Structure 1
Amino acid sequence: MNDDTLEQFYQEGLEERLISYLAKKKNISLEKAMDIYYHSDMARYISEGKYGIQYLDYKVLAQMLMDSEQDLFEK
């Protein structure tokens, strides 16, 4: 397994945990949480590896998303 494969595997797990946690925390469906996440700036930052954000805990990332992109939860 090379570094890129390992990084991709880690990122997928992070996204799954983050989406699941968002759904539970906000009492919304997984589909709604997924839609919110993939329309967020955070999803792009994680995908691009910007600011090393992908190495933060999924609960911290979820809270950051809820705090910084509240408009996505109102749609």
Structure 2
Amino acid sequence: MDENVLEQVYQEKLEERIIAQLAKEKAIPLEKAMHIYYGSELADKIHNGMEGIQYLDYRVLVQILEETEPNKFLSN
């Protein structure tokens, strides 16, 4: 495996963990958690590798999402 493939696999697993943690913490369906996550600025930052944010723990990333984009949770 080359470096790009490994990075992609890591990112996919990270996103899975973030979504599962969101669903658990907010007691919402996985589909809703996916919608929240993939519609967030955080998802864009992780996808683009901005500021190395993708290397933070998934629980920390969920906290960041909750603190920086609280409007995403208003309809829950």
TM-score of the superposed pair, with normalisation by structure 2: 0.97
Matches within 5 A, 1:52-63: 52-63=52-63
Identity %: 56
Q: Aligned partners of 1:70, 1:14: CA distance in 2, in Å?
A: 21
Q: Which residue of 1 aligns with 2:43?
A: 43
Alpha-carbon distance, 1:74 to partner: 1.1
TM-score between both structures, scaled by the size of structure 1: 0.98
Deviations along 1:47-68, one digit per CA (max 9) or x if unpaired, are 0000000000000000100111
Runs of 4+ in structure 1 off by over 4 angstroms are: none
Structure 2: stretches of 5+ with no match in the other structure: none
Once superposed, what is the RMSD of the aligned Cα atoms?
Answer: 0.5
Extract unaligned runs of 5+ from structure 1. none
